[in-house]
Structure 1
Amino acid sequence: MLLAAAAILVGFIILIWSADLFVAGAASIAENMGMSPIIIGLTIVSLGTSAPEILVSLTAAVSNAGDLAIGNAIGSNIANIGLVLGITVLVAPMMVHQSCMKKEMPVLLLVTFGAGMLLIDDELSNLDAGLMMGTLALIIIYMVRSQQQDAVLLEEAEEEYLHHLNPLRAWLTFALGLALLIASSRMLVWGSVTIAQTLGVSELVIGLTIVAIGTSLPELAATIASALRGHTEIALGNVIGSNLFNLLAVMAIPGIVGPESLEHAVITRDYPTMTFLTVFLALAIFISRKRSASTQGHSYVGRTVGMLLVSFYAGYYYWLYLSL
């Protein structure tokens, strides 16, 4: 038990650090190959920031712990909105651009409901997983084409993501980050499965709680840092992008490895909670936009919304506790 807990703790630390190395190396390699900063930000960096969830999901799937992978994906999305975004809005009111209401948030809502329809039969099939991955590819292509000429996003991508490493250092950083990601994800999955078996709780619950919070820590740090620097649009973008990748990539991985039967609680408890938080966030953004008297198409999500999000998140954990 103690060894498993230590494996989880050390695994999380290495996982978070190695994800930064992986992103820095991959982004620099792409930059050295002539890829534009905005494309790097929308593809490599978006994928890289979800690398912990992706590697944990893949490791869990091939280790016959598919419930852990599903719990990780859904739990991370719940944590991203309820915990990460809730705390961020408490730190600083979040500015929302009009484009978020017209593009990113509608896409997240459609993906949330669409993925839910695929899972309503309590099974994640190879076809379901293929549809999810195909949808992700289409979304990335759309985002790149629609935002390629956005000067503001170009400047933010340059400032936030690019580390300008020389080719040799970029490849070494990338290789080290990838190797550590794989090793730490194995440690984390082993420790999580061991604790689940020892405590007599399902791997789904461990994925929804311990693993989900741990893999959401990078988003929490990055989002709060962006908000404190006044880049609140980046803060919201981090959460929306991460949730899209979790739904369409992280959750799809077990289905790609092999058909996965889901615990019924996923459809009756966990996925509805994630959907509720997503819809609540969209409504909060819409209402703030309607009530805002600000110009240039901007509105702000205030601390009241942040308090509600954190409260909903705490309420969900209490629901999980009651269902054990």
Structure 2
Amino acid sequence: MIKILFFWFGVLLISAWAAHWGAGKLSFPLKMLRRQWGLTSSAGAALLAIVTASPEVSINITSAVRGVSDIGLGNLLGSNIISIPLIITVSYFASRKSYKNNQKHEQHLKNEFLALNKRTVKVLALPYLAIIVLTAFLTLPQGWRGLQPADGYIMLIAYVIFLFQAIMTGKQEGEEVSWSWTKLILSIAGAAAIAIGAYYIVRATENIVQILGIPQLIGGLFITGPLTTLPEIFQAWNVSKEGEITSGSTSVIADNVITLTIGFVPLALVSTVINDLTLYIINILFVALMPLFYTIFIREDKERYGFTKTEIITFNLLYLLYIMIILIFLL
């Protein structure tokens, strides 16, 4: 039994790596489009999030097709809770370096501060909060509780509206870019790697939860969900390290929007039932608390626009509180 468990954990890790590799290769055309269209860093984050969220969406599609929607639902909720504190923390540490001719950033280093673009709240955080409220409205009331096909269409429309406003806000004149056929072919290979990785992530999670005797929803929350944030972690670290701190640290918001809208669709099309209402409410609450704290902490004043080290620590404490509540609830 132990050997089988380790085998499936190995499959899980390899599959997550394959999905991450695929997401990395798939990012090329979207980066080119961002430059060609003249998008702001916040809008660029929304566009690049299509790549980083692709494993979550693929996992939800696979979960719906295989009849294990609770894994997809847990993945959707779990990744949206852990991702904000994790990515902000990673971006903070990745940006702890000096950049040439950037005295303002030197001051941020001295003050232990993570600076972000002023459009972040308006373009990303507030629309994300509105989508969470919409999700709760569509899934919690007793008359239409659960995920229905009509809900999926509504969430798809919500994503289109979100992406449109993100792209149009602060749009600038684009530039000419040079496309590489080699990288485009690798992008197609990346899409295939994401699909294959997602399939085996779901298969591995199915077997692990069966061996451990835990609910599929819990497996999605604490096994699949955290693993699917790996592409975001690498993306945030690499982008923030190069000085694109806003794109690196805010794409997580756009990523969560995609997970909660496009990732919602396949689960809705198969009419996913909420089997444990209390557990679902706890998770929706913490899904909402993360961007709410994000919006509160990132208030604008003359001196700063972003997060202090204390506020970043608070995000992580909030996630620990979530873990404690889940453990108490389960016990």
TM-score scaled by length of structure 2: 0.82
Partner of 1:13: 17
Partner of 1:303: 309
Partner of 2:148: 125
Give the whole-Å Cα distance in 2 for the aligned partners of 1:306 and 1:89. Answer: 8
- SS of the residue 1:301 aligns to: strand
- SS of the residue 1:98 aligns to: coil
Displacement of 1:135: 0.9
Asked if 1:275 corresponds to 2:275, the answer is no
Change beyond 3 A, Cα 1:37–1:72: farther
TM-score scaled by length of structure 1: 0.84
Matches within 5 A, 1:224-303: 224-256=237-269, 258-262=270-274, 263-286=276-299, 289=300, 292-294=301-303, 298-303=304-309
Match for 1:212 among 216, 220, 225?
A: 225
Paired residues in the alignment total 303
Provide, for residues 17-62 of structure 1, a one-character-per-residue CA deviation record: whole Å limited to 9, x for no partner. Answer: 11112222x438969xx96363994675331221111111111111
Partner of 1:65: 68
Match for 1:320 among 304, 308, 326?
A: 326
Change beyond 3 A, Cα 1:9–1:101: closer
Give the whole-Å Cα distance in 1 for the aligned partners of 2:285 and 2:244. Answer: 30
Q: Which moved more, 1:100-109 or 1:176-185?
A: 100-109
Displacement of 1:194: 0.6
Provide, for residues 218-271 of structure 1, a one-character-per-residue CA deviation record: whole Å limited to 9, x for no partner. Answer: 212222333333332223321211111111111232112x11112313432111
Change beyond 3 A, Cα 1:89–1:209: same
Asked if 1:22 corresponds to 2:26, the answer is yes
Displacement of 1:170: 3.7
Match for 1:147 among 151, 159, 170?
A: 170
Displacement of 1:215: 0.9
Asked if 1:189 corresponds to 2:202, the answer is yes
Structure 1 gaps of 5+ residues are none
Give the whole-Å Cα distance in 1 for the aligned partners of 2:32 and 2:90. Answer: 34
Asked if 1:95 corresponds to 2:112, the answer is no
Opposite residue 305 of structure 1, the aligned amino acid is E
Displacement of 1:173: 1.1
Percent identity for Structure 1 against Structure 2? 18
Is the Cα–Cα contact under 8 Å of residues 28 and 165 in structure 1 kept in the other structure?
A: no
Asked if 1:112 corresponds to 2:126, the answer is no
Q: Which moved more, 1:121-130 or 1:222-231?
A: 222-231
Provide, for residues 260-317 of structure 1, a one-character-per-residue CA deviation record: whole Å limited to 9, x for no partner. Answer: 112313432111111112211111112xx2xx332xxx52311101111111112222
Change beyond 3 A, Cα 1:29–1:233: closer
Partner of 1:51: 54
Q: Which moved more, 1:216-225 or 1:36-45?
A: 36-45
| Aligned-pair Cα RMSD in Å | 2.6
Opposite residue 11 of structure 2, the aligned amino acid is A
Give the whole-Å Cα distance in 2 for the aligned partners of 1:216 and 1:229. Answer: 20
Opposite residue 271 of structure 2, the aligned amino acid is P
Opposite residue 106 of structure 1, the aligned amino acid is L
Displacement of 1:165: 4.7
